[in-house]
A and B are shown apart, each in its own frame.
Chain A
Amino acid sequence: MRYGETGFNLEIDLTRGNIERVETDPKLTELHLGGLGTNSKILWDRVPPEADPFSPDIPLMFSSGLLGGTPAPGANRTIVTAYSPQTLLMGYSMMGGFFAPELKYAGYDKIILRGKSPNLVYIWIHNNKVEIRDASHLRGKGAVETQEIIRQELNQPNAQVAAIGLAGENRVYTASIEQGRSSCSRLGMGAVMGDKGVKAIAVRGTTDINLARPAEFIELCNDVLKYIKFRNEHPVPNVMTILQGLGSPQEMLHVDEKWHTENFSWGNARSRRKDFWTKEVEDRWKEVQETVRTRLISCYNCPMKCGAIISVPGLSAYMMKCFSKLTYTMAAFVDDIDFGFKIAQRATEYGVDGFSTPQIMAFGFELREAGILSEADFAGCPSDNEGKFYWMLDRIVRREGIGDILADGIHWAAQKIGNGAEAYAHNNIKKHEQLPLKLGMLNPIYFLMYATGEKINITQIEGQFPQAPFATKEEREEFISDWIQCPDDKFKQIVMDWEFRGEHSNPYYPTIDMSVDVVDWQEKMHYIDDALGVCAGLSSFPLKPPYHMHNYPKFISAATGIDMDEDGLTKIYNRNRNLLRAINVRRGLRRADEVPPEDHWKKRFPELETQLLDAYYKFKGWNNNGIPTKETLQALDLGYVAEDLEKRGIYDETAPAEKASA
């Protein structure tokens, strides 16, 4: 019997319509845990690096994590991977909700979709019974609408459905996969799903998940719940409201948007509006949000309420979380949040990424103002800010006219448009649009996370280490006094010594070595979460979370029976981190690509930044070009990866930095 995991994957060849239930190798669980870890392994093993992201050979994988569906609170994430059509690197995007646990109860750890269906289909998984069904009647239907239609036609109110909207069908590079209150938005996984001809996957499961050491496991779960309760009653003091609690930013709960609206940039990540948040705005926004927000809701087995049901009069209800109430509003320079809730309804039904898409639209209008795009490109476009954005959203999703070019995202659109458009593509990392946040002083920790993160998403790489120093010694002492998550006292010392000004302040403090250390810890937590399928909102994302390096090994042992300790878990993290890096290296990722947006900080320090990257690579056991060395890979049982990189001549390349110093 397998514990924690089901031990089976569902392999579906869409080209031939073949469906197989395949037993997995328990050894791979010991090496990679599950989720992102085993997805990476499968991608490495099966796919030639030369393949186009839309090649039928590339498997689109929907994976639960190793703890998914067990009683571990918040273990509900679905990890979706393929190659990203936008970055061309491995794309991994994740959603909460209810899908992964249901998949586990149906008896599978992963769904692996290969090939391409000749017609639009949906997949219906009911325990051992799996069908590929015609979806021609669902063509063009909204992503939320589709979920409901499928549940009704199957007469399965408890089925969980992940669906794409029109954007995915049309291979828009920012297409999302929507499921309940959650969506897998980043890096174009919806486009890959649409390209495979799969409109939706519905799953219903009624079988058991087994635990190796049940009493011990439940005790750990009880401790986590107790700690969540404690944290909800004790917000972290002396940090911004949004950083005080657990979960993803509580944007559905809070109505006070002074910080976001005045500190984040409007339009194409350009201008800050420092006096925006007036009393009048505050009253209006509060009224709107409290009117449209029907209920705060959660993902599977999690007490946090990061999402909400949104019912705008006259529009069908949908679900929202995090920051997307603001992204369209701010990108379009609309002063009324009412617009944000309305356009997000249409965008959610279309199934598009609420971070990238508004920026793409703002980018399009900026090019028009600059005369780089012509008036002919905007024939029929209304003149008001709201109307313009609705018009553009429709063009992009339908791939009509200028929308067809913009549907490939800012980077590729700029390449195609030319004529100086590249300069307007200023807020990308590795070709992917980022949060419109522009700051003053370089923070060395964030520099490294932005530059080197394989997730390629600023918002998902925050962590358990404070974002800024505390003002006084008393505040610092208070913070470290109950910092049970901290893996080593050296991090407490950094917090104690970190100042706003002077010798111990950004960008030179935390020092280079300290910064690398902190980043490694933050990354480690993310890689573990993504392999276990636990929400970052209870672990790697907020300050003082219930899951951390000290209790995770116990969870894994009690769930699976695998002997695990902190060192063992660290080794698995390093293995998964290096394997993912190697996949991307094989796809062409090099040091030269590891650059945050030029204007992310006003004050930049080229020499320091070079030293930071040098030190980070060295710490990781990578060469100066960001490539894991043979020794590093061999020590992580990844000798076969080293051999492959060697065969491809990747170790013979010279790093730009070495060239410069030579």
Chain B
Amino acid sequence: MGEKKKKIIKTIKVDLDKCNGCRACEVICSAFHATPKYSTNNPARSRIRMIRHPVRDIYVPVYAGEYTPAECMGRDKYIIDGKEYDECGFCRASCPSRDAFKEPDSGLPLKCDMCEDDPPQEKPLCVQWCLNDALIYEEREEEVEEEEKPSDAESGLKALTDKYGLEMIADTFARMAQKS
């Protein structure tokens, strides 16, 4: 058991009822993450996306989360207040089933980083640019157990182990070690 530790959890509360669908969040996100900063803008590079279907009154800003190499088996639908939403309409994954959350030229996955900056931004830029308060930034403190952070090599190896099994990885490692 690790030691208990206080941690700040950064949260963006999304109020779908307040969203007016203007996509300012996409504009400023893509500009902020350009190199040099703000030098270009292109919503296709944004780490937040408006899933938007005006005639069906669907307005859902979604943040880019983890990359996943596989599509979901099923694509469920949710009906909320009489409106039908695709499950993808809430999903944060950068996945093969859609073009959201991938760099348009390289296809590399994108992920929201809450606008990490030096000096730090007061709030993520999308929140700052949302004058209708559909996006509200909140910080809360949580007690978490301190974990030792695995190294990059360790987590890479863990992923391979999950996929191929420990035995195969061990065999492969032994074979590679012999060759070199």
In the assembled complex, the Cα of A311 lies from the Cα of B54 at a distance in Å of: 11
A302, CB-defined interface residue at 8 Å = yes
Residues on A with beta carbons closer than 8 Å to the beta carbon of B161: none
A105, CB-defined interface residue at 8 Å = yes
In the assembled complex, the Cα of A300 lies from the Cα of B20 at a distance in Å of: 10
Which partner residue on chain B sits nearest A102 by CB separation? B43
Contact A217:B44 (CB < 8 A) given known A295-B59, A318-B55: no
In the assembled complex, the Cα of A587 lies from the Cα of B74 at a distance in Å of: 62
Stretch of A203-211, A576-584, A611-619 contacting B (4+ beta carbons < 8 Å): A203-211
A475, CB-defined interface residue at 8 Å = no
Residues on A with beta carbons closer than 8 Å to the beta carbon of B42: 105, 206-209
Q: List CB contacts (< 8 Å) of A141-181 with chain B.
A: 144, 148, 157, 180-181
Contact with A along B22-33 (1 / 0, CB 8 A): 111001100100
- Distance in Å: Cβ of A292 to nearest Cβ of chain B: 12
Residues on A with beta carbons closer than 8 Å to the beta carbon of B59: 295
A435, CB-defined interface residue at 8 Å = no
Which partner residue on chain A sits nearest B43 by CB separation? A105
In the assembled complex, the Cα of A394 lies from the Cα of B111 at a distance in Å of: 51
User: A298 near B38 (CB under 8 angstroms)?
Assistant: no
In the assembled complex, the Cα of A31 lies from the Cα of B128 at a distance in Å of: 36
User: A303 near B55 (CB under 8 angstroms)?
Assistant: no
Q: List CB contacts (< 8 Å) of A68-105 with chain B.
A: 69-71, 73, 98, 105
Contact A294:B24 (CB < 8 A) given known A105-B44, A208-B40: no
User: B54 near A211 (CB under 8 angstroms)?
Assistant: no
User: A181 near B54 (CB under 8 angstroms)?
Assistant: yes
B: number of interface residues (CB 8 Å): 30
In the assembled complex, the Cα of A205 lies from the Cα of B44 at a distance in Å of: 8
In the assembled complex, the Cα of A301 lies from the Cα of B45 at a distance in Å of: 16
The one of A209, A215, A298 that contacts B21, using a Cβ cutoff of 8 Å = A298
A406, CB-defined interface residue at 8 Å = no
Which partner residue on chain B sits nearest A69 by CB separation? B41
Contact A211:B43 (CB < 8 A) given known A302-B22, A302-B24: no
Contact with B along A366-387 (1 / 0, CB 8 A): 0000000000000000000000
The one of A205, A298, A300, A309 that contacts B55, using a Cβ cutoff of 8 Å = A309
Q: List CB contacts (< 8 Å) of B2-46 with chain A.
A: 20-24, 27-28, 31, 34, 36-45
Residues on A with beta carbons closer than 8 Å to the beta carbon of B41: 69-71, 208-209, 211
Q: List CB contacts (< 8 Å) of A43-82 with chain B.
A: 69-71, 73
B166, CB-defined interface residue at 8 Å = no
User: B57 near A311 (CB under 8 angstroms)?
Assistant: yes
Residues on B with beta carbons closer than 8 Å to the beta carbon of A217: 38
- Distance in Å: Cβ of A367 to nearest Cβ of chain B: 37
A402, CB-defined interface residue at 8 Å = no
Contact A225:B129 (CB < 8 A) given known A71-B28, A206-B104, A209-B42: yes
A: number of interface residues (CB 8 Å): 43
The one of B23, B34, B44, B131 that contacts A229, using a Cβ cutoff of 8 Å = B131
In the assembled complex, the Cα of A157 lies from the Cα of B130 at a distance in Å of: 23
Contact with B along A191-218 (1 / 0, CB 8 A): 0000000000000011111110011011
User: B54 near A303 (CB under 8 angstroms)?
Assistant: no
Residue from A105, A206, A305, A311 having most chain B Cβ neighbours under 10 A: A206
User: B54 near A180 (CB under 8 angstroms)?
Assistant: yes
B172, CB-defined interface residue at 8 Å = no
A297, CB-defined interface residue at 8 Å = yes
In the assembled complex, the Cα of A24 lies from the Cα of B43 at a distance in Å of: 24
B149, CB-defined interface residue at 8 Å = no
Please list the 10 inter-chain residue pairs (A to B) with the smallest Cβ-Cβ separation, ordered nearest first: A214-B38, A206-B44, A303-B131, A208-B40, A298-B22, A206-B104, A298-B20, A208-B42, A214-B39, A218-B38
Residues of B within 8 A of A (CB): 20-24, 27-28, 31, 34, 36-45, 53-57, 59, 104, 129-132
26 pairs from A and B in contact (CB 8 Å cutoff): A70-B41, A105-B42, A105-B44, A148-B55, A157-B53, A180-B54, A181-B54, A205-B44, A206-B104, A210-B39, A210-B40, A211-B39, A211-B41, A214-B38, A218-B38, A295-B20, A295-B59, A296-B20, A297-B21, A298-B22, A301-B23, A301-B24, A303-B20, A317-B56, A317-B57, A319-B54
Residues of A within 8 A of B (CB): 69-71, 73, 98, 105, 144, 148, 157, 180-181, 205-211, 214-215, 217-218, 225, 228-229, 232, 294-303, 305, 309, 311, 316-319
Further contacts, 9 of them, CB under 8 A, given A210-B39, A215-B38, A232-B131: A105-B42, A205-B44, A208-B34, A211-B41, A214-B37, A301-B22, A301-B23, A317-B54, A319-B54
